[in-house]
Chains A and B, each alone.
Chain A
Amino acid sequence: MKLKWALLAVFFTITTVLTGCEPLLVLDPKGPQAERQANDIMLSIGIMSFIVIAVLAILTYMLIKYRASKQSEDYEPPHIEGNPIVEAICVGIPVIIVIFLSIVSVKSNYIVEATPQGYEDQEPLVIYASSSNWKWHFSYPEEDIETVNYLYIPTDRPLEFKLYSYGPITSFWIPQLGGQKYAMADMVTTLHLAAEVPGEYMGRNANFSGEGFAENAFNVKAVPPAEFDEWVEEVKETASPLTEEKFNELLEPGHLGQSTYTGTHLEFSPAPEHNHGSSEQDEHSTDEHHESGHSEHDDEHSQH
């Protein structure tokens, strides 16, 4: 038994030292959604530690008190059927914990599935993020530009990601801004995020998608709004236009570096949006859809 505790102690020291240096990505939020999630995580870790400690305490007590080596030879353990009161407590406490966590969970669900709190009155920046083996394409329909494998976003503005995939199911994830969501071939899902601190963040596909999956990551740069506008202007001046031919070339399986284009692929290869997408499509964003992808409705409708 001692050996076990000694090893556990060593282990926990190592991990504390290891993790003490810098905060874990998920627990180091830079936006409201990630913060909500980090708070939920910390809260549940707290409650759960309490449960684990309670179980360990009862177990240790039982093992020390009732081990055979401490009892007389002729001790005969009694026959004990269940006791309704004890069992009611064993049911009651977990039920209370589960109810409490359920309330937190449901509340958080509605929060992370909507425009971030405090940003409701702002017009969100809509970005279409689509994956192909093994790249990410980010289309900014409003700005009429497109990037590959990197994302530029303004801080302090709600972001609405429209996710879909040219291939296997992928999952769009920027841990420090908020949790992930799937990108799929036959529907568009919506992820609401916002960044509050300028900086560079890691973003990646979290869902296994084949050979190039490990490297299927992208870089996220959050900058103040003014700087973001400057960047857009700059792209418009310097980048080459995205043609259908070029886009098809980009879709070829493989890895690409970062690149930037004017225009978006939504014009000739629209998102599969009309397919019963996410139920919470916000009203203000529906206008965007109609402008950005008008022709899509004709030929893709029949696929559904």
Chain B
Amino acid sequence: MKIDNSLPLEYSTDQNQLNILGFWIFLGAEIMLFGTLFASYFTLVDRTGAGPAGAEIFEITPVLIETLLLLTSSFTIGLAVHAMRLANKKATMAFIGITLLLGLAFLGVEIYEFVHYVHIGAGLQTSAFTAILLTTLGTHGAHVTFGLFWGTFILLQIKKRGLTPETGNKSFIFSLYWHFLDVVWIFIFSFVYLKGMM
């Protein structure tokens, strides 16, 4: 395993470079995944059947809290990568930890939101609209959940093994993933919630 020290830690081996390119391509596929969900959402948004429309169920407060939490976490994961490049293990771990806590808080609010929807009669089976709404949000939420586990694993590995080309690579890729989820959320926020509330 040749290590090229002229490059940032996450790019420093051949395998690391492959991993990063591979992950970018994976994100391309994820864009298609969410793109398809959005396209389906716009197709079904008016097909509310006997159930409520978006404007009737959306509430701005939890959505704003979620947005705030996720945007902040995107910032902190950026700081984590910065710290990783400066080879500051403690700061890297701290920022990843904060990111995960913010993600957890986001997830908590989202679960509250889902329970609320079901409670007011906008469950998965209510209509095509509620189904695609909950599926789109749920897919994003599932990604965040997966990210929490993944991030925790990386955190443990950094703690145990320090900042090696491997752990550096993993935390960088994790940051790409987390930023991506943030971008998706911005689309959800704008085109699902804001458009739906207008």
A–B direct touch in complex (beta carbons closer than 8 A): yes
The residues of A with any CB-CB pair to B shorter than 8 Å are 302-304
Stretch at the interface among B7-15, B46-54, B116-124: B46-54
Which residues of chain A are near B47, meaning CB under 8 Å? 304
Which residues of chain A are near B46, meaning CB under 8 Å? 304
**Closest A-chain residue to B47, C-beta based?**
A304
Can you list 6 contacts pairing A with B, beta carbon distance less than 8 Å? A302-B49, A302-B50, A303-B49, A303-B50, A304-B46, A304-B47
**Closest B-chain residue to A186, C-beta based?**
B47
- Minimum CB–CB distance from B187 to chain A (whole Å) comes to 26
Within 19-52 of B, Cβ neighbours of A (below 8 Å) are at 46-47, 49-50
Tell me the count of chain B residues lying within 8 A, CB to CB, of chain A: 4
Q: Number of contacts between A and B (CB, 8 Å)?
A: 6
Which residues of chain A are near B49, meaning CB under 8 Å? 302-303
Which residues of chain A are near B50, meaning CB under 8 Å? 302-303
Which applies to chain A's interface (DSSP): helix, strand, loop or mixed?
Answer: loop
The residues of B with any CB-CB pair to A shorter than 8 Å are 46-47, 49-50
**Closest B-chain residue to A303, C-beta based?**
B49
- Minimum CB–CB distance from A300 to chain B (whole Å) comes to 11
**Closest B-chain residue to A302, C-beta based?**
B50
- Minimum CB–CB distance from A301 to chain B (whole Å) comes to 11
Please, how many angstroms separate the alpha-carbon atoms of A302 and B49 in the complex? 6
Which residues of chain B are near A303, meaning CB under 8 Å? 49-50
- Minimum CB–CB distance from B127 to chain A (whole Å) comes to 9
Q: Closest 3 interchain pairs by CB?
A: A303-B49, A302-B50, A304-B47
Please, how many angstroms separate the alpha-carbon atoms of A303 and B46 in the complex? 10
- Minimum CB–CB distance from A303 to chain B (whole Å) comes to 6
Which residues of chain B are near A304, meaning CB under 8 Å? 46-47
- Minimum CB–CB distance from A49 to chain B (whole Å) comes to 40
- Minimum CB–CB distance from B56 to chain A (whole Å) comes to 14
- Minimum CB–CB distance from A36 to chain B (whole Å) comes to 33
Please, how many angstroms separate the alpha-carbon atoms of A302 and B46 in the complex? 10
Please, how many angstroms separate the alpha-carbon atoms of A7 and B81 in the complex? 70
**Closest B-chain residue to A304, C-beta based?**
B47
Please, how many angstroms separate the alpha-carbon atoms of A302 and B48 in the complex? 8
- Minimum CB–CB distance from A102 to chain B (whole Å) comes to 27
Please, how many angstroms separate the alpha-carbon atoms of A266 and B50 in the complex? 22
- Minimum CB–CB distance from B132 to chain A (whole Å) comes to 15
**Closest A-chain residue to B127, C-beta based?**
A303
- Minimum CB–CB distance from B125 to chain A (whole Å) comes to 15
Please, how many angstroms separate the alpha-carbon atoms of A303 and B129 in the complex? 11
Please, how many angstroms separate the alpha-carbon atoms of A302 and B50 in the complex? 6
Please, how many angstroms separate the alpha-carbon atoms of A303 and B51 in the complex? 9
